[in-house]
Structure 1
Amino acid sequence: MASSSSSSSSHRGERPPAPEEATRDWAELPRDALLTVLLRLGHLDILMGAAQVCGPWARAAREEPQLWRRVDLRLHGRRPIFPYSINSMAREAVKRGAGQCQAFWAEGDLDDSVIFLLSDTSALSLKSLRLISCDSICDTSLALTITKFTLLEELEVSNYLMDFSKTCAAAGKACPLLKRLRLSSGRFEDCRVSGDVEAAAIATTMPELRSLQLFAKRISNGGLAAILEGCPLLESLDIRHCFNIVMNDELHARCSRVHTLRRPHDSGGPRIFGKINLAHV
């Protein structure tokens, strides 16, 4: 009977685990192999789980700044597991970057202390900053700190109901390499009063802008015309849900030079810049 069972198992292509597989100690992985594993994980996974596997994993996650050069703490629809919080994990990620953080993307309940820490440690390296639904970060504090990020190429402030006109003006003046800007409100406010302060800041301080998304903002035809005039290199423009804009013949003519245009009534919600990812920053 044992022979029959062995023959059946062999026929199915199954094999018993090799002795070395059964006894493999993952704590003894070479450092370069371990880094390869950690680099394939998300930063939330590293902070909430992988760093607790064993001592060598914890040390690698804590002591290797290259793991934290491009930090992505977006939630992708999930919530941190108690007792973790996005704010505490963001501070830890910035500290582990050891001044080498080139990109910082975060979503959730961050406060100003994270941005201040980022400016103190990574002001001379940061190229991409994305803040999503970070309601405790206000326009005034972000405007004060963003002037230190002189190498910034990409800025996103999304899912806010407030305007960030001071931040736009400060970034436009202090960040000459800024090419991509995304400002997104959580929803369009049905209001007859247009809000063109952000548009004025963009138009007067960001002549090098290539990609602009204004989702559900209260910008008017005049504000959009000013942006098109002040940003002659604009290649991609997304103004979906900006329902104060009326796409008349004049605006259509002005927008004709923009390679990719998404109009106020075009379908779809806000999205990240399609061709940009952390690996390219």
Structure 2
Amino acid sequence: MEKRVAVSDGGGGGRGGGGGRCSRWEDMNPEVLALVFAGMPADELARTVPFVCRSWREVVTGPYCWSEIDLDQWCRRVDRSDVINFVVRRLVRRSRGTLRRLSAYRLSNSGFFYVATSVRFLSILQMPMSDVTDQIVEKHAESLSTLTVLDISYCLRITSKGMEALGKHCKALVQLMRNMPPPEFETTQDDGVAAKVDEEEAMVIADNMAGLEHLELAYGRFSHHGLAAILTNCTALQILDIRGCWNVKMEDNIEAMCAKIQCFRDPWEDDYEFSSSEDEGDDNSGAKDVGLVDVDTCDETDDD
């Protein structure tokens, strides 16, 4: 199949007039083709473009298209960690060390392990709702020292221990998303209700991530004491989101410190859109529909 693209020479050639010249797409430089393909979703890029012609297949199976891998929407449709890990490994291999950004939901330990040990210069890692554990994060955080953006929202098996390891090794980090599900409430001594206070994650951020400029901590369990530590140590903060952090009391000194931040979302703003697997992953049949992989061939082995 011969693909041609018309390039205007500015001569005003209308329909039927010879005012344009044609160039064959398959003769284009691979890096230029990769730029053309860059706007396509990763799943579509992997399952349709290779079948157009040989040169397109060579571009897609090579590293040119895979410096950024965004599987966000595909992962939400599939909603199966074994399939997601399999595809992430396949596409990371294609990048041949050029990967700079990865966005994937529901990674488990094996997927995280492969990314951490295979990519040398990863800058952006977005893996919300992943089933990655503290142990695997602590073991491989050193390999992620080039990270500048990290999203570990709703990663329930990563605690302050894993975050501390990331903070100690990822010194270039400027953006952290750690939004969580709404906390459970407990009955207080005066028969009221309150969320349990836990300052550990806030203190880890304050002590190990002083360079942060953008921080999202929706539904965090810390109080105004943890927030004060963050505000005192993370002096570069320009964006801070603590919606749903109901243990925080916006007292005079805290309020004054927050007022200096360019974009601040306080605990009582009610427009936060909580994201969950139930909202995004209702159609589990999507694994076979997307065509990226035969789900029956997936062999999932976590590195614990």
Q: 1:250 aligns with which of 253, 256, 278?
A: 253
| Alignment of structure 1 residues 129-140 onto 2, 5 Å | 129-134=125-130, 136-140=131-135
1:72 is matched with 70
| Bigger RCO (CA 8 Å, 6+ sep) | 2
Deviation of 1:187 (Å): 3.0
2:116 aligns with 119
Q: Cα deviation per residue 1:26-84 (whole Å; 9 max; x = unaligned)?
A: 88463446434322211121123333444433322111x131111111117951499x9
Offset of residue 162 of structure 1: 4.7
2:216·2:241 contact (CA, 8 Å) conserved in 1? yes
Shift of the 97–214 alpha-carbon distance from structure 1 to 2, 3 Å rule, reads same
Is residue 27–residue 55 contact of structure 1 (8 Å, CA) maintained in 2?
no
Equivalent position SS for 2:173: coil
Uncovered stretches (5+) of structure 1, i.e. residues with no partner: 1-14, 17-23, 272-281
1:227 aligns with 2:230: yes
| Contiguous gaps of at least 5 residues in structure 2 | 1-14, 17-21, 187-194, 275-304
Q: Distance in 2 between matches of 1:58 and 1:89?
A: 17
Partners of 1:87 and 1:77 in 2: CA distance: 10
| Native 8 Å contact 1:189 1:218 kept in 2 | no
Match of 2:99 in 1: 101
* SS of equivalent residue, structure 1 residue 227: helix
Aligned to 2:127, the other structure's residue is in SS state strand
Query: May I ask how many residue pairs the two structures share in their alignment?
Result: 249
Task: Check conservation: 1:161, 1:187, Cα contact below 8 A.
Answer: no
Distance 2:128 2:48 in 1: 23
Once residues 245 and 237 of structure 1 are traced to their aligned partners in structure 2, the CA distance between those partners, rounded to angstroms, is 14
- Going from structure 1 to structure 2, the CA distance change for 1:54 and 1:269 (only over 3 Å counts) comes to farther
- Residues 145-160 of structure 1 mapped to structure 2, 5 A cutoff: 145-160=140-155
Contact persistence 2:243–2:269 (CA under 8 A): yes
Judge conservation of contact 2:117–2:140 (CA < 8 Å) in 1. Answer: no
Q: Percent identity?
A: 28
Contact 1:188 / 1:242 at 8 angstroms: preserved in 2? no
Which residue of the partner structure matches residue 30 of structure 1? 28
CA pair 228-149 structure 1, distance change in 2 beyond 3 A: same
Q: Give yes or no for contact 1:150–1:175 (8 Å, CA) kept in 2.
A: yes
Q: Which residue of 2 aligns with 1:12?
A: none
TM-score normalised over the length of structure 1: 0.77
Residue 237 of structure 1 pairs with residue 232 of structure 2: no
Letter of the 1:61 partner, please give it: V
Q: 1:77, 1:117 → 2: CA distance?
A: 17
Counterpart code for 2:128: I
8 Å CA contact 1:151, 1:175 repeated in 2 = yes
